[in-house]
Amino acid sequence: KQEVTQIPAALSVPEGENLVLNCSFTDSAIYNLQWFRQDPGKGLTSLLLIQSSQREQTSGRLNASLDKSSGRSTLYIAASQPGDSATYLCAVRPLGQGGSEKLVFGKGTKLTVNP
């Protein structure tokens, strides 16, 4: 059974710092991995999607990497800003589900960027 873990559960950094959020998964048989952002009282917003054949994806100050063989992904945020404060979740879409779109989520890392 696929399990996704995100450590740490919470992280507090000063504004301007570069930071890395970690995600690990137990089964490397995946279609893709996604990073989401969740603001308080809101739904999830998709940030980056990395296909299983890719190593990384970039969007603005965000860069996500994928090492499928070791079951790890990182989300790098450059020059953090207070507006980046949110909970970041990663999710994998496992293979072997008959093409199912089911995602398995980690519990997230709550990021606080202090001015």
Partner 1 sequence: DAGVIQSPRHEVTEMGQEVTLRCKPISGHNSLFWYRQTMMRGLELLIYFNNNVPIDDSGMPEDRFSAKMPNASFSTLKIQPSEPRDSAVYFCASSYYVGGRGNQPQHFGDGTRLSIL
Query: Exposed, middle or buried: residue 88 (CB in 10 Å: 0-12, 13-18, 19+)?
Result: buried
Q: What backbone torsions phi and psi does residue 83 show, to the nearest 5 degrees?
A: -70, -10
Among candidate residues 77, 82, 75, 69, the one with its CA nearest the CA of residue 113: 82
- Per CB under 8 A, 34 contacts partner 1: yes
- Per CB under 8 A, 59 contacts partner 1: no
CB of 99 to partner 1, least distance (A): 6
- Per CB under 8 A, 101 contacts partner 1: yes
Interface with partner 1 (CB under 8 A)? 31-32, 34, 36, 41-46, 49, 51, 89, 91, 93, 97, 99-103, 105-108
